Amino acid sequence: MATTQLYSHSSEPRAVNQSRPKFREYDQDDTLFDGTNIMFDRRVVRGNTYSAQILPSEPLIDEIAQPKIKKNKNRKSPGTPDPVEGRKHMDIQTDSLLEELTDIVPQSETTTQTDLFMDRPPTPLFIPTKSGIDVETQIEDGDLFNFDFEVDPILEVLVGKTLEQGLMEVMEEEELASLRAHQEHFEEIRNSELVATQRMEAAEKRKMEEKNKRFAQEKARAERENVVKEKIAASTFARSYLDGIMGTVFDNLRSEGYFYDPVEKDVQDNFLPWLYSSVNENIAKQDVAEEVSKRLITSALKLKLENTVS
């Protein structure tokens, strides 16, 4: 029986502290990247491989061999101190060989002639190396098969199939011709029936138009007769109504005062109102005179009675 052995750790397990990053960051200032991507290697030629190759200069090799030193971006190169009062700085050449500076760049033209390319010879046909031992056999006439005897069934099948196909084609052509003839006959019958149908439709249409025209004429005649009858009835009624209307109208106009005697109207409208007003004024004056006389008489009698009593 196996016994279970317990293990204990002297210290608790912990994660490894990685002081360096897992992936190296690419520095834009590096002139050459040492990673696995060869596109960053200047020694790798890119582009047309048939053109002339420009080899890198020796300083590039020296630069590759030398260890890279990171540039300090914050560090500035020492500059020239400010000029003293009354002077100014001027750009001058400090190279070993002086170069004439001009606005126009000197140009020159050169030409060269290259030899013509020679045609590449054709590639020879590949012939594999012979290996093994050649063997041969002899076959006499009639050993394998008899052509005339073996070809008869094939010819019979081909000829039979050809004749059958030709017969089928002829029968199909005859059937198509019969179908075309039947179709032409059917089209002729259909066209004749269509013409007859159109003729009958045209005759029926003319009859219907004539019938509608007769109906319209009869309706117009009946309407004209009704109008004439209404006019005759209206004329008769008007004549019978106007026979005694003139006397009635004149009587009504006379009773309303439209027909009158000028003298009578003048008397009624002018004289009689003036007469009535004059009579009323005279009557009013008489009443006033009578009232005044009555008062005078009454006052006189009162005075006489008082005098008698005293």
DSSP string, 189-202: HHHHHHHHHHHHHH
- Calculate mean pLDDT across residues 243-249: 77
Among 80-89, 146-155, 212-221, 253-262, the range with the most confident prediction by mean pLDDT is 212-221
The number of angstroms, rounded, from the C-alpha of 257 to the middle of its chain's C-alpha atoms is 85
3-state secondary structure of 7: coil
DSSP class of 253: H
Query: What are the angstrom distances between the C-alpha of 306 and each of 299, 309, 310?
Result: 11, 5, 6
The rounded distance, in Å, linking the Cα atoms of 168 and 178 is 15
pLDDT digits (tens, 9 = 90+) for 161-217: 999 999 999 999 999 999 999 999 999 999 999 999 999 999 999 999 999 999 999
CA neighbor of 42 nearest in space, from 21, 61, 25: 61
pLDDT, mean over the chain? 78
- Calculate mean pLDDT across residues 87-106: 73
DSSP class of 142: T
- Calculate mean pLDDT across residues 73-90: 71
Residue 75 pLDDT exceeds 80: no
Q: Going by C-beta distance under 8 Å and a sequence separation of 6 or more, which residues neighbour residue 31?
A: 42, 63, 68
Residue 76 has a pLDDT of: 59
